[in-house]
């Protein structure tokens, strides 16, 4: 058993890297890598938005490469194991910072396939780093390394990754397109101020945004009508959503994804890949006044919305 332990560790770590890479492509490759990995992990780490699409595909390619390379002897001790440790250390530092900030949401290490809190992911990384350290100690020094073979493997995986997951060059669509999917004709045709929201019922950020909008509505006599579009992924949470908000607003439910048609008729196709939950849009008639989305620089602000309504 002791003699075979290094090989067992190599197989387990290979499986871990494969699972991590495939999980980031769940439930669909473009959604997983963009919504969960890029917006859930890389952007919060401080990487520039225009660099993130390339970095995400590079990291994913490295994970696939390490999964295969760790089963080989080529540059195993000199490059493969240290690279594996370095990648895990980088994400562990970010996880430590997230824990320090009190974050308990899914860290995105295994995408949406296996939700893990930052603490759970950090423990997983530390165990893996310890296993890699043991493997490094027990691995003999590299004797016959083939640089060309290694380079071809890396470049081939990178080429496949960027071909399979092309970086989108499309610009954000006009916010007016959002209101065209509203089923309430009176809301859609209203020429006054109105607020349209795209939420997931189980999303904490969406819940907080809705509660904030409700609080604002209690401060004004003529607050604009609010309409919410929910995805069906967590529609069972809608009653709890409105219980938290304090009031039930008109809403509709859209299928999260529809793979049987080329028409745009699902929540993901409308919001993805350019917008992230929560999406809050202020209209005056058909004109978009302000669109808030995500939890970054463009996130919903009650103060900004109130100022716009007072103009």
Radius of gyration of the chain (CA): 23
Alpha carbon distance 98, 71 (integer Å): 32
pLDDT value for 13: 97
User: Is 80 exceeded by the pLDDT of residue 51?
Assistant: yes
* CA-based max dimension of the chain: 79
User: What DSSP state is assigned to residue 141?
Assistant: P
Contacts of residue 294, defined as CB under 8 A and 6 or more positions apart, other chains included, come to 39, 275, 276, 277, 278
| Phi/psi at 240 (5° precision) | -65, -35
Mean pLDDT, residues 172-183:
71
pLDDT tens digits along 193-240: 999 999 999 889 999 999 999 999 998 888 999 999 998 888 899 999
- For the chain, the first-to-last Cα distance in angstroms comes to 74
Q: Which CATH number is 176-310 given? A: 3.40.30.10
Instruction: At 273, list the tokens.
Output: 């890949």
Q: Does residue 273 have a cis bond before it (omega within 30 degrees)?
A: yes
What's residue 43's pLDDT? 73
- Return the pLDDT at 262: 44
> Starting from the edge strand earliest in sequence, which strands make up the sheet with 226-231, in order?
251-254, 226-231, 193-199, 279-284, 287-292
- List Cα–Cα distances, 10 to 14, 27, 135, 139, 252, in angstroms: 6, 28, 8, 11, 49
> What pLDDT digit, counting tens, does each position of 146-158 carry?
999 999 999 999 9
Q: Contacts for 233-236 with beta carbons within 8 Å, 24 or more apart? A: 233/200, 233/202, 234/200, 234/201, 234/202, 234/203, 235/201, 236/201
* Residue 176 banded pLDDT, cuts 50, 70, 90: low
What are the extents of the domains in the chain? 5-164, 176-310
Percent of the chain with pLDDT over 70: 93
User: Which contiguous run of DSSP H or E holds residue 241?
Assistant: helix 238-245
* Sequence-separated contacts (24+) of 120-127 with Cβ below 8 Å: 121/91, 121/95, 122/92, 122/95, 122/96, 125/88, 125/91, 125/92, 125/95, 126/92
- Least confident segment among 41-55, 85-99, 106-120: 41-55
265 pLDDT band, cuts 50/70/90, is low
């Amino acid at each position: 058993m002791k003699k075979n332990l290094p090989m067992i560790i190599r197989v387990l770590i290979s499986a871990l890297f494969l699972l991590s890479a495939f999980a980031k492509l769940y439930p669909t490759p473009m959604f997983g890598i963009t919504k969960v990995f890029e917006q859930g992990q890389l952007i919060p780490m401080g990487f520039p938005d225009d660099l993130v699409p390339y970095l995400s595909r590079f990291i994913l390619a490295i994970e696939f490469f390490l999964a295969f390379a760790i089963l080989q002897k080529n540059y195993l001790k000199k490059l493969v194991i240290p690279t594996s440790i370095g990648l895990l250390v980088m994400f562990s530092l970010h996880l430590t910072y997230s824990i320090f900030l009190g974050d308990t949401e899914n860290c995105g290490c295994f995408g949406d396939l296996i939700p893990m809190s930052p603490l759970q992911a950090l423990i997983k990384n530390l165990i893996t780093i310890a296993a890699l350290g043991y493997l490094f100690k027990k691995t003999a020094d590299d004797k016959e390394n083939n640089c060309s073979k290694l380079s071809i493997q890396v470049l081939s995986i990178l080429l496949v990754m960027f071909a399979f997951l092309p970086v989108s060059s499309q610009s954000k669509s006009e916010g007016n397109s959002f209101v065209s999917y509203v089923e309430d004709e009176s809301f859609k045709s209203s020429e006054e101020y109105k607020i349209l929201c795209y939420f997931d019922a189980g999303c904490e950020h969406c819940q907080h945004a809705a509660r904030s909008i409700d609080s604002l509505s209690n401060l004004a006599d003529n607050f604009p009508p609010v309409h919410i579009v929910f995805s069906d992924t967590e529609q069972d949470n809608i009653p709890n959503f409105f219980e938290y908000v304090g009031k039930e607003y008109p809403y509709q439910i859209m299928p999260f994804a529809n793979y049987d048609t080329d028409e745009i008729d699902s929540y993901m196709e409308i919001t993805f890949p350019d917008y992230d939950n929560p999406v809050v849009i202020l209209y005056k008639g058909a004109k978009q006044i302000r669109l808030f989305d995500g939890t970054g620089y463009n996130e919903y602000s009650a103060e900004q919305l109130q100022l716009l309504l007072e103009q």
